[in-house]
Amino acid sequence: MRLTVLGGGGFRVPLVHRALLDDAGGSPAHDGVRCTELVLYDTDRARLDAIGAVLAHQREHHTGPAPALRATTDLDEALRGADFVFSAIRVGGLAGRVRDERIPLAEGVLGQETVGAGGVLYGLRTVPVAVRIAERIAALAPDAWVIDFTNPAGMVTEAMGRVFRERGLPDRVIGICDSPVGLCRRAARALGVDPDRAGYDYVGLNHLGWLRRLTVDGVDRLPELLADTAALESFEEGRLFGADWLRTLGALPNEYLHYYYFNREALASVRSAAATRGEFLLDQQSRFYERARPDDPAQAHREWERTRREREETYMAESREASGGWERDGCDLEGGGYDRVALALMRAIARGERTTLILNVPGRGAVPGMDGDAVVEVPCLVDAAGAHPLATGPVAPDQLGLMLTLKAVERSTIEAARDGSRRAALRALALHPLVDSVRVAERILDAAGGF
Ligand code: G6P
Ligand code: MN
C-alpha cells in the first residue's frame, strides 16, 4: 500500500514516519494492507533533504521491515498510484503565518493561525491550492483516501471534498486534528480512567468543539470531574479555562476556544509578547533547516529532536501566560497526537479494523441544526468504507450558534478563494465573531491584498 505525503519536507513528517515504522511489524496477514511505500512530495527540495536525513536516522535505528521511501517535487508523479494521500502543506510558509498574525494585530484584533481574521486570511491563501490538489487527485488517484492535516482543516476539508462530489466521485476526504483526542485523553487521565476504555461525546467544528460527556461502562463521569477542582485544574484545559467557567459551561471546550471565551486576555497576551507564534517558529524552523546536515543523519536527527521538543514546550505560550502562566505537562510534550490519529485512521480503513475517532467529515445529519454537507468534527465510526459520523444529539444553543456562525465564515472564505469574490472575502472577515467592525475587516482585507 502506498502513502503519499504532501508537504513531505514538513517538520512533523518524522512523527508520521516513526508511527509507520512502529506499525511495520505485526501479523503477516496484514502484509497487503500495511504501508510498504512512502512517497514524500514537497515544493522545496532542500526541506526534503533535511527531513530525509532525519528519516534515515530513524531507519538506521529500526529493526524489522520499513516502507520503501521516495522523495519528489513533482505533484503528479507523487499522486499516481497512491492509496492514501496525507496533505500537510503550509501555503505561504511561516512567513505567511506571520502576516496572518500581524495584519489583524495591527488592527487590534486577534491574529492566529486558524482562529479569527488570521484563520480567514490563511484560508483565503490555502483553499485555492488545496482545490487544485484535489483536482489532481480526482484525475490521477480517484480511489485514494485523502487525510487532510492542512489548516484551517475544517475549511480545507470541506473545500477539497466538494471537488470530488462535483465530479460525481465519492468524497473520501477526511480532516484530522490532534486537539480533540488530546482533550479527551487528558480528561480521562484526570479521572484516573484508561483513555482507551472511555467513550467521548464531542461535538463541534475544527478548533471549535466541546466534550460534553465522558462515559465509562455507560456512566457519564464528566459531572464528577467538573465537581473536582483539583482534578480539573490538573490538566491543560482545566488550567486554561478555570474550574468555575468549566462548571458554568458544563462541558470541556477545545483549547482553541480560549481565544473566544477569554479573547481580551488572550489578545493582550499575544500583543505583549515580543514575538508572535509565527515569528518564533519562523526563526526556530529556519535554523533547523539551515543546520540539519543531509549527509549526517545522526546530527540532523539530534537537531530535529531538540527543535521538536522546544516547539512542544512553547505551544500556546500566550494562552498559558494569559491564564496564570503554567508549563505544559510532560506527557503532552511527547507528540504522538497528530501522527497517531492519522495512523489509526489509515489502519481502520485499510484493514477494516473498526474503531471510533473524532474526525472532520460532512455531518450527513449527525448534528441537528447543521446541514448535511457541512464538515463537522465529531466521533466517527471508521471501517473499510470510511468514516461514518455518529449522531450527536441536540447541541446547546450557544454552541450551535457559534458553529453556524463559523461555518458561514468558512463557506464565505471558500467562496472567495474559489471565485475571487471580494464581497465573499469581506463577509468572511466581517462576520467572524472575533473581528469587531466591518471597517476593521475592510482594512485587514486591503492590507492582505489579493481582493
Ligand atoms: C495543534 C493543532 C494544529 C496546529 C498546531 C500548531 O496541533 O491541532 O492544527 O497546526 O497545534 O502548532 P504550532 O507548533 O505550529 O504552533
Ligand atoms: Mn488542529
At residue 103's C-alpha, the angle toward residues 102 and 104, to 5°, is 95
Tell me how far apart the alpha carbons of residues 101 and 114 are, in angstroms, rounded to a whole number.
10
Which helix H or strand E contains 48, and what residues bound it?
A: helix 45-60
Phi, psi of 2 (to 5 degrees): -105, 130
Residue-level pLDDT at 26:
61
Determine the distance separating the centroid of ligand 2 and the alpha carbon of 65, expressed in angstroms: 31
Q: Most confidently modeled of 21-30, 104-113, 334-343?
A: 104-113
Place of cell 472511555: 198
Looking from the CA of residue 114, the nearest atom of ligand 1 is 9
Query: How many CB atoms within 10 Å of residue 145?
Result: 22
In a domain, 211, yes or no: no
Give the per-residue SS3 of 358-425. EEEEECCCCCCCCCCCCEEEEEEEEECCEEEECCCCCCCHHHHHHHHHHHHHHHHHHHHHHHCCHHHH
Looking from the CA of residue 312, the nearest atom of ligand 1 is 14
Helix, strand, or coil (residue 7): coil
In a domain, 65, yes or no: yes
Instruction: State in Å, rounded, how far the first CA of the chain is from the last one.
Output: 42
**Residue bearing the CA closest to ligand 1, atom 6:** 315
**Residue bearing the CA closest to ligand 1, atom 10:** 151
**In which domain, by residue range, is 41 found?**
2-175
Tell me how far apart the alpha carbons of residues 178 and 388 are, in angstroms, rounded to a whole number.
19
Looking from the CA of residue 316, the nearest atom of ligand 1 is 16
Please indicate whether residue 308, judged by its CB atom, sits closer than 6 Å to ligand 1: no
Lowest pLDDT segment from 14-18, 24-28, 53-57, 304-308? 24-28
In a domain, 18, yes or no: yes
Confidence of residue 334 (pLDDT cuts 50, 70, 90): confident
Query: How many CB atoms within 10 Å of residue 60?
Result: 10
Give the cell for residue 337.
497526537
In a domain, 94, yes or no: yes
CATH number of the domain that residue 111 is part of = 3.40.50.720
- The model's pTM is 0.97
Residue-level pLDDT at 154:
98
Determine the distance separating the centroid of ligand 2 and the alpha carbon of 293, expressed in angstroms: 30
Looking from the CA of residue 277, the nearest atom of ligand 1 is 16
pLDDT digits 0-9 by tens, 291-331: 999 999 999 999 999 999 999 999 999 999 999 999 999 98
In a domain, 195, yes or no: no
> Could you tell me whether strands 145-148 and 84-87 are parallel, antiparallel, or unpaired per DSSP bridges?
parallel
Q: What is the mean pLDDT of residues 345-356?
A: 94
Tell me how far apart the alpha carbons of residues 271 and 111 are, in angstroms, rounded to a whole number.
10
pLDDT digits 0-9 by tens, 412-444: 999 999 999 999 999 999 999 999 999 999 999
Q: Which ligand is nearest to the CA of 205?
A: 2
Q: What is the mean pLDDT of residues 210-229?
A: 98
Query: How many CB atoms within 10 Å of residue 263?
Result: 18
Give the cell for residue 135.
483536482
Please indicate whether residue 12, judged by its CB atom, sits closer than 6 Å to ligand 1: no
In a domain, 156, yes or no: yes
Q: Tell me the residues surrounding ligand 2 (ion) with CB < 5 Å.
A: 177
Q: Whose CA is closest to 210, among 394, 388, 355, 434?
A: 394
Place of cell 496533505: 87
What are residue 116's DSSP bridge partners? 111
Please indicate whether residue 277, judged by its CB atom, sits closer than 6 Å to ligand 1: yes
Confidence of residue 203 (pLDDT cuts 50, 70, 90): very high
In a domain, 351, yes or no: no
Number of domains in the chain: 1
Determine the distance separating the centroid of ligand 2 and the alpha carbon of 438, expressed in angstroms: 28
Residue-level pLDDT at 439:
98
**Residue bearing the CA closest to ligand 1, atom 12:** 315
Please indicate whether residue 411, judged by its CB atom, sits closer than 6 Å to ligand 1: no
Looking from the CA of residue 178, the nearest atom of ligand 1 is 8
In a domain, 397, yes or no: no
Give the cell for residue 186.
487528558
Tell me how far apart the alpha carbons of residues 290 and 392 are, in angstroms, rounded to a whole number.
47
Q: Which ligand is nearest to the CA of 338?
A: 1
Determine the distance separating the centroid of ligand 2 and the alpha carbon of 178, expressed in angstroms: 6
